[in-house]
């Protein structure tokens, strides 16, 4: 795995304050690359709750034509990455199947923002995630995972199909590549910051 840091990091001076913890949710449909995204960027060995798919899931959990996935997240994925001495991201990956939807409120509580990971060949699978974050008001961006380096649809078509607000960034990224995940998370942080500033200005 590429060891490129999320950004230029500075060592904490003795007696300095601990980094500010920031919670980020990685969401999306089944088999779109959420677990891979967390694993690609995490500074620690990610905690995953993967279980082998069984015959019961055949025809229900469909990972997509580009996937060789044989396991499924049954609770959550967890990882962390330090931006610098002052901020540390804690990444919580949600289960992709609707039957685990009852867990989303707990995983999203207190989150600064969310990355909705999308497979552009299966846009229907990401509608519940987009609807959820639009409803809760948590700032989010859409990251279109480039399986095999390719997108089934271009970003303009994805935005149109999802009917999301023009202010919501839609970016292409590779969930396997640390640099690509890093850049995508920075877009999310920028989106969350602008939303917070806008709300603060509107309140004054």
Ranges of H-type helices in 102-165: 104-108, 127-136, 155-162
Lowest mean pLDDT among 32-41, 111-120, 195-204: 195-204
Q: Cα separation of 124 and 110, whole Å?
A: 27
- pLDDT in the model for residue 168: 96
Output the average pLDDT for the chain.
Answer: 82
Q: Cα separation of 188 and 155, whole Å?
A: 16
20-203 folds as: Rossmann fold (3.40.50)
Share of the chain above pLDDT 70, in %: 76
DSSP string, 4-73: --SS---PPPTTPPPPEEEEEEEEESTTSSHHHHHHHH-SSPPB--EEE--GGGTTTS---TT----EEE
Q: What residue ranges do the domains of the chain occupy?
A: 20-203
Residue range 23-82, pLDDT digits in tens: 999 999 888 999 999 999 999 998 876 555 444 444 444 555 555 544 554 457 899 999
- pLDDT in the model for residue 57: 43
- pLDDT in the model for residue 56: 42
Q: Cα separation of 35 and 195, whole Å?
A: 27
- pLDDT in the model for residue 50: 53
Share of the chain above pLDDT 90, in %: 55
- pLDDT in the model for residue 39: 94
Residue range 80-100, pLDDT digits in tens: 999 888 889 999 998 855 555
Residue range 6-20, pLDDT digits in tens: 544 444 555 678 889
Residue scoring higher pLDDT (189 or 73): 189
Residue scoring higher pLDDT (171 or 104): 171
């Amino acid at each position: 795995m590429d060891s490129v840091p999320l950004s230029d990091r500075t060592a904490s001076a003795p007696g300095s304050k601990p980094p500010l913890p920031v919670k980020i949710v990685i969401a999306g449909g089944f088999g779109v690359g959420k677990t891979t995204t967390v694993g690609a960027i995490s500074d620690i060995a990610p905690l995953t709750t993967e279980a082998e798919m069984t015959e019961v899931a055949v025809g229900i959990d469909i990972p997509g034509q580009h996937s060789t996935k044989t396991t499924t997240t049954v609770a959550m994925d967890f990882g962390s990455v330090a931006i610098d001495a002052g901020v540390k991201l804690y990444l919580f990956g949600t289960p992709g199947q609707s039957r685990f939807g009852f867990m989303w409120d707990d995983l999203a509580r207190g989150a600064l923002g969310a990355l909705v990971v999308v497979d552009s060949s299966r846009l229907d699978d990401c509608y519940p995630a987009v609807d959820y974050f639009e409803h809760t008001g948590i700032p989010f961006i859409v990251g279109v995972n480039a399986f095999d380096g390719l997108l089934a649809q271009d970003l303009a078509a994805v935005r149109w199909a999802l009917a999301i607000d023009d202010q919501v960034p839609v970016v292409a990224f590779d969930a396997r590549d640390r640099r690509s995940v890093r850049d995508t998370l920075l877009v999310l942080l920028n989106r969350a910051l602008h939303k917070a500033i806008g709300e603060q200005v509107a309140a004054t």
